[in-house]
Amino acid sequence: MRNMRKLSLTCLNNGQNPPAREHLQMPEQREKLDGLYECILCACCSTSCPSFWWNPDKFIGRQAC
């Protein structure tokens, strides 16, 4: 889980000024995310993954998606 701290969990806007209002998301856009964000950070994928075994300092895990 300490590797999660390496990720930037904020939305980046390429150095532009902050928007004047929130970014709205259409239902069609939201549907594209189904299956990608349901991770509950249980670490099961990390503890049973050879990539984690051999590179524990670099491997971020499924939760990075």
pLDDT at 18: 73
Report field, pTM of the whole predicted structure over 0.75: no
Residue with tokens 């889980």: 1
Mean pLDDT within 29-33: 81
- Contacts for 13 with CB less than 8 Å, ≥ 6 apart: 19
Higher pLDDT, 10 or 43: 43
Distance, CA of 64 to CA of 51 (rounded, Å): 14
